[in-house]
Structure 1
Amino acid sequence: MHLLLVEDEQHAGEYLSKGLRENGFVVDWLKSGLDALHQAQNVEYDAIVLDIGLPDLNGWEIIKRLRQSQHTPVLFLTARDRVEDRVRGLELGADDYLIKPYAFSELLARVRVLLRRGKQQELDVLTLGDLSVHLLRQRVERSGQRIDLTAKEYALLLLFLRRRGEVLSRTLIAEQVWDMNFDSDTNVVEVAVRRLRSKIDEPFGSQLLHTVRGFGYVMEQRD
């Protein structure tokens, strides 16, 4: 699942983006309301976690403009526990409202609820051949056997499955899964792909994750 996180406070943004990525989400974190509005209007997200108190363009104005053209689920974050603010947010089109300080587990649960009921939600199960990923349970199976993955391996698998048949470069993979600029001296992508293959391909005798030499990797079923 691809989330847009809009939070101008450095510590909170780092904490939330790290926690969400560890739970298998692809996260774009922005601090500017203007940048967030432009991003949300040009990139398809599964949900948006939006702080109201932004310095340049506040959350109220962002959702007001977004709702003119789209219905991506939005979870508002605010430091003010006022009934009138909650009512205003809901009337403008927010799907949920969370007051600071909050437990990360609650935010995670609320995001998952939004994804279940949101109009932009994916199917509950992604499949390719005999490989399946149950998104809400975060359960991976192949030929009926459960496969245990780390958080990064799971995020990597979701990226490949959502873009099956598309050759993904190492640079793109590093940006999406690790939120880092690709360094040619770093073999983190190759190591992660190797480990993922050892779990989803090697024990089953047929390969779904392929190397395209000089370009990157592709996940597809081949004869």
Structure 2
Amino acid sequence: MYQPEEIRILIIDDEPSILKFLSLGLQNEGYQVLTAEDGISGVNAAQEYQPHIVILDVMMPGIDGYEVCKLLKNMGAVAIIMLTAKDEVEDRVKGLTLGADDYMSKPFSFQELLARIHARIRNQFPHMVGEMQIGPFRIDDRRKEIRYDQRVLSLSATEYELLKYLVVNHGIVLSKATILDKVWGYDFGGQENIVEVYIRSLREKLDDREHQLIRTIRGSGYRVDLP
């Protein structure tokens, strides 16, 4: 697993109480933390601090979180978790379209935020993780190898990336469109049914005949449920 002290987190929020709460909590977990009280200060801080993770509030004076998100994504590799007091689908879609990697509505659980930070690190900075154990899965990104119940799975390169993405995001429903974007890439010109083909193959290799491990959520996508 990664060492938290190697991870730099920038929190951008105009609520001092939120900044203090998150800063203390994440520092106690071992992370390096920097805070900013508005969008402009946050962008300037990001240029010097080069954070791995940015926790970004949407509603701020000056430039809002959406504009900050767009600017940060143009700077390079950074994982952005957006915070909002709203829970509207349109707001989430707008943030994700601009490049946000995750979305949480206030109020939120600190433990859930930690879990989402862990997922972002595993997904976007695998070189900092190396090997990780998630339930019955052991993922070795250096060897591009996944073990399930101590058994090495025989996977193609795409099957490896797909299964890793599903497992790292276990418990979260992932749509076919999202899976295509994250595994195949935005420029993939194929059809969404390619996801079904690969899911079927993974279920066979995992001996998941009853679809209890990789569940189909009708009308929404797929979700990995760990035992």
- Picking from 48, 59, 62, the partner of 1:56 is 62
User: 1:5-84 counterparts in 2 under 5 A?
Assistant: 5-84=11-90
Quickly say closer, same or farther: Cα 1:58–1:121, change in 2 above 3 A: farther
Unaligned runs of 5+ in 2: 1-6, 135-227
**Contact 2:52 / 2:77 at 8 angstroms: preserved in 1?**
no
**Contact 1:46 / 1:121 at 8 angstroms: preserved in 2?**
no
Q: Provide the rounded CA distance (Å) in 1 between the counterparts of 2:102 and 2:50.
A: 19
1:123 aligns with 2:128: yes
Runs in 1 of length 4+ with deviation above 3 angstroms? Answer: 134-137
**Contact 1:124 / 1:136 at 8 angstroms: preserved in 2?**
no
Q: CA deviation at 1:114?
A: 0.6
User: 1:1-223 counterparts in 2 under 5 A?
Assistant: 1-118=7-124, 120=125, 122-124=127-129
Letter in 1 for 2:71: R
Q: Secondary structure at the match of 1:94?
A: coil
Letter in 2 for 1:48: V
TM-score for both structures, normalised by structure 1 = 0.54
Letter in 1 for 2:90: E
Q: Provide the rounded CA distance (Å) in 1 between the counterparts of 2:22 and 2:75.
A: 27
Q: Provide the rounded CA distance (Å) in 1 between the counterparts of 2:100 and 2:133.
A: 22
Quickly say closer, same or farther: Cα 1:66–1:95, change in 2 above 3 A: same
Q: Provide the rounded CA distance (Å) in 1 between the counterparts of 2:133 and 2:32.
A: 15
Deviation string, structure 1 residues 128-150 (Cα, Å, up to 9, x no partner): xxxxxx9999xxxxxxxxxxxxx
Q: Provide the rounded CA distance (Å) in 1 between the counterparts of 2:62 and 2:45.
A: 15
Q: Secondary structure at the match of 2:100?
A: coil
Q: CA deviation at 1:121?
A: 5.2
Identity of aligned residues (%): 35
**Contact 2:36 / 2:45 at 8 angstroms: preserved in 1?**
no
Q: Provide the rounded CA distance (Å) in 2 between the counterparts of 1:54 and 1:72.
A: 20
Q: CA deviation at 1:17?
A: 0.6
- Whose relative contact order is higher, 1 or 2, with alpha carbons under 8 Å and at least 6 apart? 1
Deviation string, structure 1 residues 138-190 (Cα, Å, up to 9, x no partner): xxxxxxxxxxxxxxxxxxxxxxxxxxxxxxxxxxxxxxxxxxxxxxxxxxxxx
Quickly say closer, same or farther: Cα 1:122–1:5, change in 2 above 3 A: farther
Deviation string, structure 1 residues 2-39 (Cα, Å, up to 9, x no partner): 10011111111111110001011010011121010111
Unaligned runs of 5+ in 1: 126-133, 138-223
RMSD, matched Cα: 2.0
Q: CA deviation at 1:73?
A: 0.4
Q: Secondary structure at the match of 1:74?
A: strand
